[in-house]
A and B are shown apart, each in its own frame.
Chain A
């Protein structure tokens, strides 16, 4: 059985290709900049100086836990919320005070949001109707878009006659019908079941790349974010912790929060030296990425990906194998380190087969720089 974290790791690997060589057909999308956005709801600070730049035709996901401000950022870009301070710029024009109805942005909502009194065809054609397109033109283009999302046969059906996945595809077609230069996706897949979610996310990515629409995608699902996006911005407490390609985010997290939010991290007790540049753990001393934060000193936890730790069997090791979880080509080994810390190590299943529970093992760090976090 695989966990979300594993899936995230796998997705990061698969997403590395488009990130390295973007297949986006640029030209259809507009550049978007959110600059120093702040927003308070009463005493709650939803956004705290958020700055994000999205290139034309790029798909950027905002990823983070509930309450981190990602949806607020999207809603400010859409024009449904107003920022307390900061600016929203699209295609070089400041649009902070432009009403939502004049922003020409397509948006797909979590809850489908199809108009119940209209057929699928009329829903898709609604934006075109407001743009004074003729009935013939409207029907032709709405029909083409429904065909594009595989729902040509459902054109005459009403929302309550469609399944959740079908409704969301109509919503996507409706958002694209107005040929927006910016597409906003507010957790569009979270209400769908796993199979439909997987199909639809591939379809969204495929359409986005084909049309070259600049897209901002909000999600709390790291697998979705990593697998669909050119870049992923991880948010916490209204701020952007890190924005990078999925593979970079996974391999080189900038902060302990990003490291633990994206994928799985093993925590190993360590001790910082006086300068905060080096940390000692499991008998090794390794450099700290970017130096430790000022608040950290003395006892800390060293953060290492399970696949980054080395494990060798041998007498008098620093750990004992407690458990193993078979994940297919790899196996996750739980090791009781120094009698009181459980760490996870990923090894090829063929190697892990020789490390049954109870085996004495030596855990060692990779030679590269590591992240540190306060001791738990």
Chain B
């Protein structure tokens, strides 16, 4: 009987395919093109100037310069530690706030903006004043500080991803089927936050690879500190190193956008990144 009813229902209307955006370019007003070109030039001209100054021949020799490997390795190590710490701290926190303490979200937004408002120089000088000597002697102190610096970016990436999900209902649906919190987190929430997690990771890595003030004041030669120091020796190679770092970061960001944009398996939450506007579609009818 139910099967018969089911078969009768099988003919229900399938979802309407997205509208083909024909003539989108034609409808794009000319003044928008002008703004786009001006904005593009604003970003592209300094890069072009950098390329001209460095010259193509400088790029291959960057890796062989003295101190490069040590600085780059240190930066990568700090990036890895920072990313792991940031995700381990932020993911459960943001999920918990969304799930159990939604009223705290506003406070969280305010708190997580503080590292942007407070200058890094203030932060590092304060920490160096009070931190134990053992910790001060280790470059890992920088990683702890970078976690604070990365917090605004990681929080917003994760927050955007979670806002695109109906988190409470998904968790309850999983619970009703027998899923505990661990299973729900591993099988439901994290797969749907894939792109948000990637965004948080890339932003954190990019931040660590580019951070200069704290590393310099803590007297560690990270990659940015090396670039500035090496600038005294060879300006073109120093600029080539900066540009190479920028290009690598861009490529990673593009890859993430592509993964998120494909969104195939993901549906709503998976495609959400720091750069996407969180939206919740109203429950549809048909």
The residues of A with any CB-CB pair to B shorter than 8 Å are: 78-80, 99-107, 109-117, 126-127, 130-131, 147-153, 158-166, 169, 171, 174-175, 178, 184, 191-193, 196, 199-200, 202-203, 206-207, 210
Contact = CB atoms under 8 A, between A and B. Distances in A.
Contacts of A130: 177-179, 183
B173 A113 contact: yes
Given A104-B178, A113-B169, A158-B264, 6 more contacts: A106-B176, A150-B7, A193-B285, A193-B286, A199-B8, A203-B2
Given A100-B176, A199-B9, A111 B283 contact: yes
Nearest to A75: B172
Contacts of B8: 150, 199
B238 interface: no
Contact of A78 (B6, B176, B179, B264): B176
Contacts of A113: 166, 169-170, 172-173
Contacts of B166: 111, 113
B167 to A, nearest CB: 11
A117 B6 contact: no
B284 A163 contact: yes
A192 B285 CA distance: 4
B3 A80 contact: no
B285 A196 contact: yes
Interface stretch (B11-19, B41-49, B69-77, B146-154): B11-19
Interface in B161-183: 165-166, 169-170, 172-180, 183
Most buried by A among B169, B176, B179, B266: B176
B178 A162 contact: no
Contact of A116 (B6, B179, B183, B269): B269
Contacts of B13: 163
B169 A116 contact: no
Interface string B81-106: 00000000000000000000000000
Given A109-B173, A116-B165, A148 B2 contact: yes
A191 B169 contact: no
B103 to A, nearest CB: 12
A303 to B, nearest CB: 36
Contacts of B174: 101, 115, 126
Contact of B2 (A79, A109, A193, A207): A207
Contact of A150 (B10, B180, B269): B10
A163 B286 contact: yes
Interface in B149-208: 165-166, 169-170, 172-180, 183, 187-188, 191-192, 194
A116 B192 contact: yes
A158 B267 contact: yes
A153 B10 contact: yes
Contacts of B177: 101, 106, 126-127, 130, 174-175, 178
A117 B265 contact: yes
Nearest to B11: A150
A148 B3 contact: yes
Nearest to B164: A116
Interface string B272-286: 000000000001111
A128 to B, nearest CB: 9
Contacts of A178: 177-178
Contacts of A192: 283, 285-286
B283 A110 contact: yes
26 contacts: A78-B176, A80-B172, A101-B174, A101-B175, A101-B177, A101-B179, A101-B180, A107-B176, A110-B283, A113-B173, A115-B188, A116-B268, A117-B191, A126-B179, A149-B9, A150-B5, A150-B10, A160-B267, A163-B12, A164-B283, A166-B14, A169-B6, A169-B9, A171-B173, A174-B177, A193-B285
